[in-house]
Amino acid sequence: MSVNQSQLAYRGALLTLLRRLHFYIGLFVGPFIFVAALTGTLYVLTPQIENALYHDAIHTQDSGQNYSLSQQIAAARHYIGEEATIYAIRPAPEPGDTTRVQFADSSLGESESRAIFVSPSTLAIQGDMTVYGTSGVLPLRTWIDQFHRGLLLGDIGRIYSELAASWLWVAALGGVVLWLTSRPKRKLKVRHTPQRKARHWHITLGATLLLGLLFFSATGLTWSQWAGGNIDKMRSSLGWMTPQVNTSLAPQTGHQHHDPHAEHHGMMPGMVMPDAADDSWDRVLLAARAAGIESHKIEIRPPRAADKAWTVTEIDRAWPTHVDTAAVDPHSFKVIDRTFFADFPLVAKLTRWGIDAHMGVLFGLTNQLLLAAFGFGLCAMIILGYRMWWLKRPAISASNPAQTLSEAWLALPGFWRAAMMLIAAVFGYCLPVMGVSLLLFIAADVVRWRKSTLKLQVS
């Protein structure tokens, strides 16, 4: 065999390997990617629905002079019970909005708190419901978010979303490579069969959505349980973590580091101290305002322990981003530390923007519509992929072992086989769910290979 023939044979084996891997991802992981895309799209499309559904709780028709923040909190405590422990306060951001007084509740799930919605001008209680995470979403979006994250199955359900995020980028890039290497050099007239039409639109959507699919995969992995943990370790070792305000009253140097996914990791404080004097909340807020906390959307948290400070954090994730934080001494009411988003390292800023864009809040309605287009486009692409497989399936001989991962890998030269094993091992270590699922792919492929080989021997 000549050198050119050998190169063509190796190239064909490599493309066959990629084609079979792309097929397995679509066949076995496709349903999980579809569910993640659909539920994620529903999540980014529901803020306006949630606002209308819970309008009476989050908005008020009352007008007039607002009571002090401490008086609003007292009204919420009177409603829920004096022994209840306050977790956080979100003052009314605009006239016509209510104040959220959030209480810790051991009966709720991770990152959940019980919110009492208080009219600032009348102290009337206008709502009582569970809110979730730093984003403060209400029950409808909480349900969608938890379904998107783990199919409502807790940590075990998070395997599905990590599986989808782990393979999405491989499927997207692999599909583009297959298209670029298989398209004819000149346009040919072909019969437009249903299978060809499905393939055309599948390829068109894949190429159009490529950058978005890579973005969803990367940002989705940062939320995942195992791969996300590895990403956090890498960021920490490289000094890429998000700065966090230092709340320790003991003298320390430097900022701590913050997980930007805190609302998805159950970062509820382990201990919430009893409430301070009645006017403490107002004095803490005044101190933070004087220190540069300017956003209308803020959250105030009391100290988590006797040697910790209050925190006042901006929670406006839109553009421009307002996520500055101040720590306030509970005794002197002086600001002891501050973090400003403008001073964040570039990687920390990109992480914040990436997460907020993934959630559809960075650019408001534009962000929502763009994510919805990508989400529905991905769902359509998966459906078209299944249609292609179904229409072509009867015409494919199931007795050809060359159409397996195993045979395609064995057809590669030794260097390429070793390189493929090394690449698989590295990604399997960094993305554990990908590694385990790849082993399952190979096991299923070996079984199929052996069966098809036996059929050929018998025939």
pLDDT at res. 457? 64
pLDDT at res. 344? 95
Give the whole-number percent of the chain exceeding pLDDT 70.
88
CB atoms inside a 10 Å sphere around CB 357: 18
List C-alpha distances in Å: 90 to 101, 104, 291: 7, 14, 18
For residue range 207-257, list pLDDT tens digits in order. 999 999 999 999 999 999 999 999 999 998 988 889 999 999 986 555 555
Please report the DSSP string for 13-75 in residue order. Answer: HHHHHHHHHHHHIIIIIHHHHHHHHHHHHHHHH-HHHHHHHTHHHHB----SPPPPHHHHHHH
Q: Buried b / exposed e across 51-78, counting CB within 10 Å, b at 16+?
A: eeebeebbbbeeeeebbebbbbbbbbbe
The verdict on residue 52 lying in a domain is no
Is the model's pLDDT at 261 over the cut of 80? no
**Does residue 34 sit in the same domain as residue 161?**
yes
Choosing from 298, 313, 344, the residue where a domain stops is 344
**Does residue 37 sit in the same domain as residue 61?**
no
- pLDDT band at residue 84 under the 50/70/90 scheme: very high
3-state secondary structure of 314: strand
pLDDT at res. 187? 67
Is the model's pLDDT at 137 over the cut of 80? yes
Higher pLDDT among residues 184 and 82, named by residue: 82
3-state secondary structure of 210: helix
CB atoms inside a 10 Å sphere around CB 136: 20
**Does residue 114 sit in the same domain as residue 178?**
no
The verdict on residue 184 lying in a domain is yes
Is the model's pLDDT at 265 over the cut of 90? no
**Does residue 329 sit in the same domain as residue 379?**
no
The verdict on residue 100 lying in a domain is yes
- pLDDT band at residue 134 under the 50/70/90 scheme: confident
Task: Of 309-323, 353-367, 402-416, give the lowest mean pLDDT range.
Answer: 402-416
The verdict on residue 235 lying in a domain is no
- pLDDT band at residue 272 under the 50/70/90 scheme: very low
**Does residue 20 sit in the same domain as residue 93?**
no
Is the model's pLDDT at 388 over the cut of 70? yes
Residue 130: partners with Cβ closer than 8 Å, 6 or more residues away: 108, 112, 113, 114, 115, 138, 139, 142
- pLDDT band at residue 409 under the 50/70/90 scheme: confident
Higher pLDDT among residues 190 and 123, named by residue: 123
The verdict on residue 146 lying in a domain is no
**Does residue 68 sit in the same domain as residue 195?**
no
What average pLDDT does range 33-38 have in this prediction?
98
Higher pLDDT among residues 266 and 69, named by residue: 69
- Residue 448: Cβ-neighbour burial (10 angstroms; 0-12, 13-18, 19+): middle
Our CA dihedral for 404, 406, 410, 412, rounded to 10 degrees, sits at 60
Our CA dihedral for 325, 121, 52, 212, rounded to 10 degrees, sits at -10
What average pLDDT does range 100-109 have in this prediction?
94
pLDDT at res. 323? 96
The verdict on residue 354 lying in a domain is no
List C-alpha distances in Å: 160 to 19, 133, 146, 151, 221: 23, 21, 12, 8, 12
Task: Of 15-19, 310-314, 454-458, give the lowest mean pLDDT range.
Answer: 454-458
Is the model's pLDDT at 411 over the cut of 60? yes
**Does residue 274 sit in the same domain as residue 133?**
yes
Beta-strand (E) ranges in 104-178? 112-118, 125-132
pLDDT at res. 398? 47
**Does residue 165 sit in the same domain as residue 36?**
yes
The verdict on residue 355 lying in a domain is no
* C-alpha atoms less than 13 angstroms from C-alpha of 53 in its C-beta half-sphere: 11
- pLDDT band at residue 397 under the 50/70/90 scheme: very low
CA gap 169, 147 in Å, rounded: 22
- Nearest Cα residue to 296 out of 120, 437, 73: 120
Q: Look up residue 318 and give its two tokens.
A: 């839109």
CA gap 457, 417 in Å, rounded: 26
Radius of gyration of the chain (CA): 27
**Does residue 245 sit in the same domain as residue 127?**
yes
The verdict on residue 259 lying in a domain is yes
CB 182 within 8 A of CB 12: no
Where in the sequence is the domain holding 173, given as residue range(s)?
3-45+152-224+364-458
**Does residue 331 sit in the same domain as residue 192?**
no
pLDDT at res. 267? 41
Q: Look up residue 395 and give its two tokens.
A: 């015409």
CA gap 459, 456 in Å, rounded: 5
Phi and psi dihedrals of 325, rounded to 5? -140, 145
**Does residue 204 sit in the same domain as residue 245?**
no
What average pLDDT does range 344-363 have in this prediction?
94
**Does residue 91 sit in the same domain as residue 169?**
no
Is the model's pLDDT at 399 over the cut of 50? no
Give the whole-number percent of the chain exceeding pLDDT 90.
71
pLDDT at res. 169? 97
Is the model's pLDDT at 173 over the cut of 90? yes
Choosing from 313, 344, 375, the residue where a domain stops is 344
Mean model confidence pLDDT for the chain:
89
Q: Look up residue 151 and give its two tokens.
A: 């199919």
Length, in residues, of the chain: 459
- pLDDT band at residue 408 under the 50/70/90 scheme: confident
* Total tally of structural domains belonging to the chain: 2
For residue range 277-305, list pLDDT tens digits in order. 578 999 999 999 999 999 999 999 999 99
- Nearest Cα residue to 264 out of 148, 165, 379, 386: 148
Task: Of 103-107, 141-145, 396-400, give the lowest mean pLDDT range.
Answer: 396-400
Is the model's pLDDT at 98 over the cut of 60? yes
